[in-house]
Amino acid sequence: MKVTKKQNIIISNPETKDFLADAFYPEEEKQLPLVIFVHGYKGYKDWGAWDLMAEKFAEAGFFFVKFNFSHNGTTIEDSHNFADLESFGNNNYSKELSDLGVVIDYFSKNEKVDAHKIILIGHSRGGGISIIKTYEDERINGLITLASVDSLDRFPKNEAFEEWKKSGVYFATNGRTKQEMPHYYQFYEDYEKDIHRFDVERATEMAKAHFLIIHGTKDESVSVKSAEHLHILHPNSEIFLIENADHTFGAKEPWEKPVLPDDLNAAVEKSIEFIREKIVRE
């Protein structure tokens, strides 16, 4: 099946700033379910094997979108690197939810999209954001989390928190790029002022969409217990654990092979099956 790729589409969000998105879809006459991939912390749309994942979803008959959050540290000119650490430091959950809302609005109006079939796929922190957005936006009728957090309260604790509050910034080293990534204290202030909105547990309990939870049993960044917790909070959800899979399901940056890693391929195939069974056949 021929797949059309439209990459680096500029999306404007007046509440944040311009950012980039990609759309992958098959050349078919009928309208297609819209699948939106939401990247996580220190993630971006062009990372690792995400392009291969996008192609596989498109070949399966979906209109697949991936995008960069406006303040993820990439730029319009450079979508592959953290070229704007100032923006990264000024990111927060309010901005990410705003950007995701703009992406849903933009692509749900596309003539090739069936706006009654919208599915979010969130990886890691993007899973937490996707859960909240699914609860808030009734247009979303499918939710898939990949290695998702079960809380957005992932800030420094105790003495480290007090030092952050005092200095106004803390730095996290990016293991791959060796960059010192800043986080300004506004991030926590934004979270605290809207703490009920950012309650992933509450949103999980209240979300109405069909829900699939995928997690690796050897996830080194987010414990598999987070997946089990989400499943308990939303008993109608389906949980799919991949034995020995890590946080990125075998993918890494750069990914130079022409095929998906086995664990990510298993996650994608399960996701496609879930969407077809729960949403396309409704």
pLDDT (tens digit, 9 = 90+) per residue, 175-186? 999 999 999 999
104: left (phi over 0), alpha (psi -120 to 50) or beta: alpha
> Is 168 part of any domain?
no
* pLDDT, mean of residues 248-261: 98
Q: Which CATH number belongs to the domain containing residue 11 in this structure? A: 3.40.50.1820
> Is 167 part of any domain?
no
pLDDT at 282: 60
- Tokens matching residue 64: 């697949």
Q: Rounded to the nearest 10 degrees, how much is the dihedral formed by the CA atoms of 166, 168, 173, 174?
A: 150
Q: CA 155, 182, 129 angle in degrees (round to 5)?
A: 50
* 3-state helix, strand and coil shares in percent for the chain, rounded to the nearest 5: 35, 25, 40
> Is 188 part of any domain?
no
> Is 158 part of any domain?
no
Q: Other C-beta atoms within 10 Å of 140: how many?
A: 23
Report the share of the chain in percent with pLDDT over 70: 100
| Helix, strand, or coil (residue 13) | coil
Report pLDDT digits (tens) over 115-167: 999 999 999 999 999 999 999 999 999 999 999 999 999 999 999 999 999 99
Report pLDDT digits (tens) over 46-96: 999 999 999 999 999 999 999 999 999 999 999 999 999 999 999 999 999
Q: CA 58, 60, 64 angle in degrees (round to 5)?
A: 30
> Is 182 part of any domain?
no
Closest CA to 67 of 14, 12, 15: 12
The count of domains in the chain is 1
Q: CB–CB of 20/71 below 8 Å?
A: no
Residue ranges of alpha helices (H) inside the chain are 50-59, 85-89, 93-108, 125-136, 158-167, 186-193, 200-206, 224-233, 262-275
Answering whether pTM is above 0.95, one says yes
Q: CB–CB of 224/130 below 8 Å?
A: no
pLDDT at 117: 98
What's the whole-number average pLDDT of the chain? 97
Q: Which domain holds residue 220?
A: 3-152+195-280
Helix (H), strand (E) counts: the chain = 9, 10
> Is residue 22 scored above 90 in pLDDT?
yes
> Is 225 part of any domain?
yes
> Is 270 part of any domain?
yes
pLDDT at 184: 98
Confidence of residue 12 (pLDDT cuts 50, 70, 90): very high
Q: CB–CB of 33/280 below 8 Å?
A: yes
> Is 175 part of any domain?
no
